[in-house]
Structure 1
Amino acid sequence: MQQQDIPTPEHPGEKASFWHDPDKLAVFYQSLALAVVILVGYYLFTNTLTNLARQNIATGFGFLGKEASFEIGESLIPYSAADSYVRALAVGILNTLKVACIGIFLTVILGTFVGIARLSSNWLVSRMAAVYTEVLQDVPILLQLFFWYAIFYEVLPSPRQALHPFPGIFLSNRGMVMGVPESHPAHTWMLLAFAAGCLAVWILRQWARKRQENTGRIFPVFWTSAAILLALPAAAWLAGGAPVKMNVPELQGFNYHGGINISPEFAALLLGLVLYTAAFVAEIVRAGIQSVSHGQTEAAMSLGLRPGKVLQLVILPQALRVIIPPLTSQMLNLTKNSSLAVAIGFPDFVSVANTTINQTGQAIEGIALIMAVYLFLSLTTSVYMNWYNKKAKLVER
């Protein structure tokens, strides 16, 4: 092929003209595209406001301060129908965060376990893990939610015939009710002591890592951390008078009162999300482990390390660079899939926002709030996982 001549200035010191400078042209075209997007957005926005005004439909977020006038079945904060729409939406956000945080935690644990099991030398264990991933991946998440919801409502008995698997625990179609310690000031101090213990464990881990790098001596971090996390809350409990009184649920009328109740809607949603997403996480973990050269395993075994230590100290740290990016996507999927809770009656943010839209008619504002909340949750998760990915990446010398 004949090489094309590239336009150059007549004199070496002369700058290229605007239309021959690729950097200037790139800025110009990007600015032009941005201006077009802004103009189109402005046109759509003004056109929407004009149409809404023509139909006498109020706009804005002034409705958020009005009385909600509807109840919410589950709430982490005190709420009643006399509260405002702002508080109702806050309840929905907290319910979504509760499902997402617990679900992500359980999904990572279950997915890691199943992913490791798929590579087991035991034929039965590896086949069972393979069946789990294939079946759960191929069944739509919404059908799984309906399945678990039906299990709770159709298979489990009524509260009067509730199952009693363990002392203080009752399982019925109204959910699982269990006894909890009665409120006491000592519990607050125990929580603060546990937080202080977590900080102490983090400092201990940093010190132990530096000590091992400098001297080669291994400090028993796990057992020391476990002792700290148990001893500090126990000391706070003893100092607070060692309260042991329990709030045990009792059958009154047609349901149990007292203790803590895990509703069928929440349990079905959590089970469906965790089991479905963990099947994908298991494949990510399996692929990450297999991406590490088998020579690493052989070298570690030749040093006398046990298989568990080889996996913990050699394989998984190297596999994280492959696992973390797709794992982040699955965390985001779980958070966004929690919006399917509306199908089984769990009052997450989408469900509460839909009720608000139906009562106020503020559809645009309601949808905008839903988009903003899920965008914030997704960006927050991505920022944290990107930071963790940088911390976990391999450092080449």
Structure 2
Amino acid sequence: MFSWTQTDSQGRRKVSGKELLWQAALVLAVTSIIGSAVWNAADNLARQRIASGFGFLQQTAGFDISQSLISFDALSTYGRAFVVGLLNTLEVSLIAIPLATILGFTIGIFRRSPNWLLSRLAAAYVEIFRNTPLLLQLLFWYNAVLMLLPAKASESLQLGDLLYLNRRGLSVPKPLVGDNTLLCGGIIALSVLLVVLTIHWARTRRYRTGRSLPTISLSLLILVCVPAVLGMLVTLTSGQALLHLELPRPGRFSVEGGWQLLPEFVALLIGLVVYTASSIAEVVRSGLAAVPRGQYEAARALHLPSVKILRLVVVPQAIRVIIPPLTNQYLNLLKNSSLAVAIGYPDLVQVFAGTVLNQTGQAVEIVLMTMAVYLTLSLLTSAGMNVYNRRVALVER
């Protein structure tokens, strides 16, 4: 076949001097445009007597934040406010991603169910929540659901003595470590290491003998039993509990104790999970549909139960189709968390690109920092999913 591409004796493409000249001209043009934009921005800021640079991060903020994972008050700096907003964004995203994945996979599997009612209900869920704006759903969960709950602590919706839900938010048990923080961290690290070694051993055993082990069940068993047994031993030897839970309890005006979650956080979490799960469900459904019908029939011919057909035959093949679009849904969830500003949740956009920007007026630096954070988080998420995608991809022989 005739080709216009010139190659050398080793088959490598030759780059002509004309191509190098065009590439150099393109780089020069892009550099000139960026440099001109930066110079104009600096000149306009100087004319309006607006300070530039990142020195404002050391200034006192003068405001408080309703929810923060680290200590923050009015005497804290703008730099600490940036960290608080970033941690709040990471908190809701890291909780929403696994919940949306579990719910999305469940709904997607239900859509392929032979049960007519179950598949129709799953289809209705997908069509309703995927085709309505996320912003509208957040306003619905916040204003039409949470704000209609009882305001008094004594009238809260509760699950035993563990969960209390009212207009002020959700109260859940709070784990307290005490003076054994390093010991608890070591036990958790040991449990994770044992899980990694177990997964590696199970994979090696499967390659050598062809026999598989329930790695998920074993991993969960290790994560539960190892900390429980070691914690009991530490308690028996030292006479002091390694870890205990602070349960919430209804007080006179509000629920006291435990971990208090703002209603804005609860609404944002529900909205992100429900909305993203509807898109993940469609991704899972299409991935399951991509598996050839003969794979189902061959598994049934071996008299495998439906659950094992799904877990051992269908999902391992469908996951190769599911991972790339699933990565897009994770990225969308991470970026959609910025809609928290609509309901007042103190995420990075609301705290840093909102309150801090209004007080300092340094829009260029603040917007660039905010964009850099979301870009970095998106690239890290994409890189992690790409690594997993390469591990499950088929190897051509």
TM-score, normalized by the shorter chain, greater than 0.5: yes
Which of 131, 134, 140 is residue 124 of structure 2 equivalent to? 131
Match of 1:169 in 2: 163
How far did 1:55 drift?
1.5
Match of 2:334 in 1: 335
Once the two structures are superposed, the pairs formed by residues 312-391 of structure 1 within 5 Å of their partners are 312-353=311-352, 354-391=354-391
Match of 1:290 in 2: 289
The secondary structure found in structure 1 opposite 2:164 is: strand
Separation of aligned partners in 2, 1:154 and 1:297 = 48
Match of 2:18 in 1: 25
Separation of aligned partners in 1, 2:99 and 2:108 = 14
CA spacing shift, 1:370–1:182, aligned 2, 3 Å? closer
Per-residue deviation, residues 356-385 of structure 1 (Å, max 9, x unmatched) = 110001011111111111100111111111
The secondary structure found in structure 1 opposite 2:157 is: coil
CA contact (8 A) 1:186 1:237 kept: no
Structure 1: runs of 5 or more not aligned: 14-20
Match of 1:17 in 2: none
Structure 2: runs of 5 or more not aligned: none
Separation of aligned partners in 1, 2:169 and 2:214 = 42
60-69 vs 297-306, greater mean Cα deviation: 297-306
State the number of aligned residues.
Answer: 385
Separation of aligned partners in 1, 2:60 and 2:332 = 33
Separation of aligned partners in 2, 1:245 and 1:372 = 39
Which of 61, 66, 74 is residue 81 of structure 1 equivalent to? 74
Question: Is structure 2 residue 191 aligned with structure 1 residue 192?
Answer: no
CA spacing shift, 1:179–1:210, aligned 2, 3 Å? closer
Please say which structure displays the higher CA radius of gyration: 1
CA spacing shift, 1:294–1:226, aligned 2, 3 Å? same
Match of 2:112 in 1: 119
162-171 vs 382-391, greater mean Cα deviation: 162-171
How far did 1:191 drift?
4.6
Match of 1:225 in 2: 219
CA contact (8 A) 1:318 1:394 kept: no
CA contact (8 A) 1:92 1:352 kept: yes
Amino acid at match of 2:80: R
Task: Work out the percentage of aligned pairs sharing the same amino acid.
Answer: 44
CA spacing shift, 1:137–1:226, aligned 2, 3 Å? closer
How far did 1:231 drift?
2.2
CA spacing shift, 1:56–1:305, aligned 2, 3 Å? same
CA spacing shift, 1:211–1:178, aligned 2, 3 Å? closer
298-307 vs 83-92, greater mean Cα deviation: 298-307
The secondary structure found in structure 2 opposite 1:240 is: helix
TM-score by length of 1: 0.90
Per-residue deviation, residues 293-328 of structure 1 (Å, max 9, x unmatched) = 011111122223221111111111111221111111
Once the two structures are superposed, the pairs formed by residues 141-290 of structure 1 within 5 Å of their partners are 141-160=134-153, 161-185=155-179, 189-241=183-235, 243=241, 246-290=245-289
How far did 1:31 drift?
1.8
The secondary structure found in structure 2 opposite 1:139 is: coil
State the Cα RMSD in Å.
2.5
Separation of aligned partners in 2, 1:386 and 1:25 = 36
How far did 1:116 drift?
0.5
CA contact (8 A) 1:280 1:330 kept: yes
TM-score by length of 2: 0.90
Amino acid at match of 1:395: V
Match of 1:109 in 2: 102
Separation of aligned partners in 2, 1:84 and 1:256 = 31
Per-residue deviation, residues 127-146 of structure 1 (Å, max 9, x unmatched) = 00000000001110000000
Once the two structures are superposed, the pairs formed by residues 44-123 of structure 1 within 5 Å of their partners are 44-123=37-116
The secondary structure found in structure 2 opposite 1:261 is: strand
Separation of aligned partners in 2, 1:23 and 1:390 = 35
CA spacing shift, 1:64–1:266, aligned 2, 3 Å? same
Separation of aligned partners in 1, 2:143 and 2:5 = 72
Per-residue deviation, residues 122-175 of structure 1 (Å, max 9, x unmatched) = 001000000000000111000000000013443200124222332243221001
CA spacing shift, 1:7–1:184, aligned 2, 3 Å? closer
101-110 vs 300-309, greater mean Cα deviation: 300-309
CA contact (8 A) 1:152 1:173 kept: no
CA contact (8 A) 2:126 2:281 kept: yes
CA spacing shift, 1:172–1:125, aligned 2, 3 Å? same
The secondary structure found in structure 2 opposite 1:164 is: strand
CA contact (8 A) 1:190 1:236 kept: no
149-158 vs 44-53, greater mean Cα deviation: 149-158
CA spacing shift, 1:81–1:294, aligned 2, 3 Å? same
97-106 vs 152-161, greater mean Cα deviation: 152-161
The secondary structure found in structure 1 opposite 2:158 is: coil
Separation of aligned partners in 1, 2:29 and 2:139 = 45
Per-residue deviation, residues 12-60 of structure 1 (Å, max 9, x unmatched) = x9xxxxxxx7643333212211110111111111111112111111111
Separation of aligned partners in 1, 2:146 and 2:177 = 31
